[in-house]
């Protein structure tokens, strides 16, 4: 998608952009939660090394999987237009429709906490891997249901599952956004030609919230910023790990970074202890 967009923007032939596949630790280790083995850096460490070494000119990321604090020499130069931000529930039409004590598979602390907030009786177990791996575990009966990002399913041409509205389940910060990170001024300028400014601004707001919260891979947090007249509207939710408590908030503002920081401060000020202790902000 990024290569096609670059070629179209610059009038290059279709073979002008070389795609270099880099296998990350996050790809290789599939039996443990990210928070136990190094967090989101497991998706970026090898790409960062290739970028800083000059082996590649830019790296493509799912922005929800990029850690909040980045090396100062690397810059998010562009985002593609944001795809569907919602989660999809696969295995049932709604969480309420699952039988008592049903097993839900997910590796996401956010999805776990949000599901338990609605259905504290659910048995939530860890499943990681690509889409096919997760769907196979559902098909085998190992789990009764799972939650996956609609954007990823759509990009793979999969229509599985029932979309859950943000009003029911806010997504992860930056969910549905593909970003292009670059190091040199030349590469940044080339990537900027494909930037979808509203998406990048919303991603900035959501990442600013994470930075102010001091959130990590153990911290169940959901956030969604959207363009509105005069700026951006942002909603967010912080939860206890077991879903037993949460705090929600909404703000509007013209500056994405200031908006994210302000909403984070408001949430931290109002959060119950079971939630507040999960954030270092």
20 Cβ contact partners less than 8 Å away, ≥ 6 residues apart: 50, 55, 56
Which of 194, 225, 220 lies closest to 85, judged by CA? 225
Q: Left, alpha or beta for 251 (phi > 0: left; psi -120 to 50: alpha)? A: beta
**Encoded tokens for 75:** 């810059």
65 counts as catalytic: yes
CA-to-CA separations, 247 to 30, 165, 238, 250, in angstroms, rounded: 31, 18, 5, 11
Instruction: Return d(Cα 50, Cα 57) in angstroms, integer.
Output: 9
Q: Can you read off the two tokens belonging to residue 73?
A: 């020499």
**Chain-centroid distance, C-alpha 49:** 22
Q: Name the catalytic one among 27, 48, 57, 65.
A: 65
Residues annotated as catalytic are 65
């Amino acid at each position: 998608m990024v290569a096609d967009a670059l070629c179209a923007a610059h009038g290059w032939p279709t073979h002008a952009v070389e795609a270099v596949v880099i296998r990350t630790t996050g790809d290789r280790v599939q039996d443990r939660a990210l928070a136990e083995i190094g967090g989101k850096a497991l998706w970026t460490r090898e790409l960062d090394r290739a970028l800083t070494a000059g082996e590649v000119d830019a790296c493509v990321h799912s922005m929800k999987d990029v850690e909040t604090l980045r090396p100062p020499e690397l810059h998010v130069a562009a985002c593609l237009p944001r795809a569907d931000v919602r989660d999809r529930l696969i295995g049932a039409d709604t969480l309420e429709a699952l039988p008592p004590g049903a097993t839900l598979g997910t590796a996401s602390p956010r999805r776990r906490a949000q599901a338990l907030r609605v259905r504290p009786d659910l048995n939530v177990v860890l499943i990681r891997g690509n889409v096919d791996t997760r769907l196979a575990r559902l098909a085998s009966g190992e789990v009764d249901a799972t939650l996956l990002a609609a954007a990823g399913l759509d990009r793979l041409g999969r229509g599985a599952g029932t979309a859950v509205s943000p009003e029911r389940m806010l997504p992860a910060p930056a969910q549905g956004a593909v970003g292009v990170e670059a190091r040199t001024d030349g590469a940044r300028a080339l990537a900027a030609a494909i930037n979808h400014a509203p998406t990048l601004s919303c991603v900035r707001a959501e990442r600013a919230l994470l930075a102010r919260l001091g959130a990590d891979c153990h911290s169940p947090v959901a956030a969604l910023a959207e363009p509105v007249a005069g700026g951006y509207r942002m909603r967010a939710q912080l939860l206890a790990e077991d879903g037993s408590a949460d705090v929600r908030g909404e703000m509007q503002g013209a500056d994405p970074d200031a908006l994210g920081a302000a909403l984070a401060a408001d949430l931290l000020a109002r959060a119950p202890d079971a939630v507040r202790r999960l954030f270092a902000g």
